[in-house]
Amino acid sequence: MMRFTARFAYAAFAGAALALTFSTAGHADDFPSRNITMIVPFTAGGAGDILGRMVGHQLEQKLGKAVVVENKPGAGGVIGANLTAQAAPDGHTLMIAPSATMAVNVTLFKALSYDPAKDFVPLALAAATPFVLVVNPDLPVRSVQEFIAYAKKQDGKLSYATAGPGVPHHLFAEMFKTMTGIQMSPVPYKGSLPGLNDVVAGHIPVMFVDLGPALGLIQSGKVRPIGISTASRLPMLPDVPPIAESGVPGFDAASWQMIVAPAKTPPAIVQKLHGEISAILATDEARKLVSQNGMLPMPPQSVAELQAFVNAEIQRWGDVVRKAGIAGTQ
């Protein structure tokens, strides 16, 4: 298992201290009393939308009430996050919360209208999304080490594609720059595919990209993968080494998707949802769907461990955002 998941281990100590908070007190016997809304703070078709619809379908089979997925994109996930934070804390409004919404935005935004550590209670970590460092096939590099040497010779003239400021495509590249000493300039696009298309066309030489939209282009040879962002190899690309094994020790990054509810949701309802959603994500069907869409299934964790994880990720990505010089730019 990659070291990304290993970071959860340190959080176990928090379990005992917070266990009483999530006792059986509350009223879960009559929950749910109406349909559940699953907010996805981004457009349809992405990783969060896929997970939301899969979990929602299975959850309504278990709970006997419809789960309605509502896409509420905009402002880097802020619109959907605000709607969730302001919803009644009764378990009938949930959100698929990506790492940008739960961790990155805290430092990226000058004045964030919600506090992910205080306004939400985490129910489950649904999946992690590894990224691939890809280059145009005409670029004279076939490994991370060759790319680092090539970039240093370009004297800061190299550019890389991103899907916007503060998203993993951007932050992973900035972390890579910091750890290798190379210089590259970001070129923002409206999503992964437009950036990838320009890498294919040779307009942009390099990009960190999520595996889902890139896999077909990799398999057809239209882009060349030279490194994996996580610390272990991926079953879908067994011959592509982790960046951490290719001259950048300690490089380990993945975006993630978490399911959350509004803070102050009754503890018994939190535990009921936590148990049901964790059971759904542990099924072979769910794990297969996650893997087929370029994501990695995650092991079940307690609510307390997830809370500690969120706090640690806020600090971790805050450091990256500050080093990238984009803190408070949104």
**217-266 pLDDT, tens digit each:** 999 999 999 999 998 888 889 999 999 999 999 999 999 999 999 999 99
Cis peptide leading into 205, omega within 30 of 0? no
Residues of the chain with CATH 3.40.190.150: 3-129+255-323
At residue 15 the predicted structure's pLDDT band, cuts being 50, 70 and 90, is: very low
Task: Identify the pLDDT of residue 97.
Answer: 93
CB atoms within 10 A of CB 25: 12
5 pLDDT higher than 60? no
Task: Identify the pLDDT of residue 268.
Answer: 96
109 contacts 330 by C-beta, under 8 angstroms: yes
Residues of the chain with CATH 3.40.190.10: 130-245
Task: List, for residues 258-305, the tens digit of each pLDDT value.
Answer: 999 999 999 999 999 999 999 999 999 999 999 888 888 999 999 999
At residue 74 the predicted structure's pLDDT band, cuts being 50, 70 and 90, is: confident
Query: 21 vs 81, which has greater pLDDT?
Result: 81
Q: Can you give the pTM of this predicted structure?
A: 0.79
Mean pLDDT along residues 179-201: 91
Domain 3-129+255-323 listed as CATH 3.40.630.10: no
| Cα→Cα distances 12→17, 305, 308, Å | 10, 6, 9
104 pLDDT higher than 50? yes
Mean pLDDT along residues 142-167: 92
Task: List, for residues 23-33, the tens digit of each pLDDT value.
Answer: 334 467 789 99
When mean pLDDT is compared across 95-109, 113-127, 182-196, 253-267, the lowest value belongs to 182-196
At residue 84 the predicted structure's pLDDT band, cuts being 50, 70 and 90, is: very high
Whole-number average pLDDT of the chain:
88
The DSSP secondary structure of 134-178, one letter per residue, reads: EE-TTSS-SSHHHHHHHHHHTTT--EEEESSTTSHHHHHHHHHHH
Mean pLDDT along residues 189-205: 91
| Strand 36-40 to 296-297 pairing | unpaired
CATH number of 130-245: 3.40.190.10
324 pLDDT higher than 90? no
Q: State which H helix or E strand residue 228 sits in.
A: strand 224-228
